[in-house]
Chains A and B, each alone.
Chain A
Amino acid sequence: MSQALLTVIGEDRPGIVAAVTQALYTAGCSIGDASMMRLGGYFAIMQVLSYPQDLGAVEMALDAAVKRLNLRVHLDPLSSVAADGGAAPDTRVTVFGADRPGIVASVTAALASIGFNIVDLESERSGSPEHPIYIMVIQGLAPAGIAAVREVLAPLREKESIDIGVHPLETAVL
């Protein structure tokens, strides 16, 4: 079995996941790690799948669902079979403040400068229309340690007028 990363996007409505996964199952594919969510009225699917033949056959299997639900599909073959896994995140960074352009760019630039590897980022624009706030939660690996994360983010509190929390993510193996 070869592996590919499948991306599907379409206007949100009930039945997208069912149609896509049923088509994949019928085509002999098996689904690995997946992340699916509603974003701005659209529904986005990202998943690792193992497929038996060629990617063209997968695309063909998805065709009926794609046409019926007006989906956009993208398939990227994964070179490495060990595409999943990797270490569990050890640090969580929470950021929130009055929404304005540049928050994500400045926070992630600071994190990148110390080699912080983002595993997962979720953000939401919230608050009232007059006073929108931006809330972001980042989970990742901090090879330089959590103190380095705190240090590199500290100046941004004032510069960007945002609240930043840095928390260790411990995994209790029991």
Chain B
Amino acid sequence: MAVLPILTYPDPLLRRPAVAVADFDVELSAFVDDLIETMRTGPGGVGIAAPQVGRLQRIVVVDVRPKLGDDCHGLMVLVNPELIAWEGVAVGREGCMSVPDFTGNVIRAEQIRVQAQDIHGKVRVYECAGFEARAVQHEMDHLDGLLFLDRLVSRKTDLFRRKVYKR
């Protein structure tokens, strides 16, 4: 296990789309272990995406237990994740290990259903809500070269929470 260096904006790798994982081998497993350790030593400690350490593959790790205790899925390793459904929107303040110091308001879906593979390639579906859903969406954005900075909203937009029920 090793803590990997985190890339910070404006590193160009953070803006590149990641490619799907094809080989579910020992090397992938070792990398995911490193990714988990890197996440846990970071300032937020609840989520990380492979491109943040310079590996352009569609891998995300989220574990919001430091924030929510056991009221969540615990450790989620999401390989090749796809958002298959979402509902509701909420404004929330986010920060990112790859954008030190700055925080800003971002709109995210309140509830999501995500389909992903685990480190063995087995397909799983997770339903997430609230903070956990926010974390998953934030990390999945990294796989498309997007940062929360791409989704900043004006403070005026933050006046009241607005509900939207359909895409």
- Give residues in B with beta carbon < 8 Å to A: 43-44, 46-47, 67, 92-97, 101, 103, 131, 134-135, 138-139, 148, 155-156, 158-160
Contact = CB atoms under 8 A, between A and B. Distances in A.
A88 B103 contact: yes
Interface string A38-64: 000000000000000000000000000
Contact of A174 (B94, B101, B159): B94
Contacts of A171: 93-95, 103
A73 interface: no
Contacts of B43: 173
Give the interface SS of chain B, mostly helix, strand, loop or mixed: mixed
Interface of A: 85, 88, 94, 120, 122, 135, 137, 169-174
Contacts of B101: 85
A170 B92 contact: yes
B155 A174 contact: no
Contact of B135 (A85, A94, A135, A172): A172
B8 to A, nearest CB: 14
B160 A94 contact: yes
Given A122-B155, A135-B159, A174 B93 contact: no
Nearest to B62: A174
B95 A173 contact: yes
Contacts of A169: 93
A135 B158 CA distance: 13
3 smallest CB-CB distances across A and B, nearest first, come from A173-B44, A173-B95, A171-B93
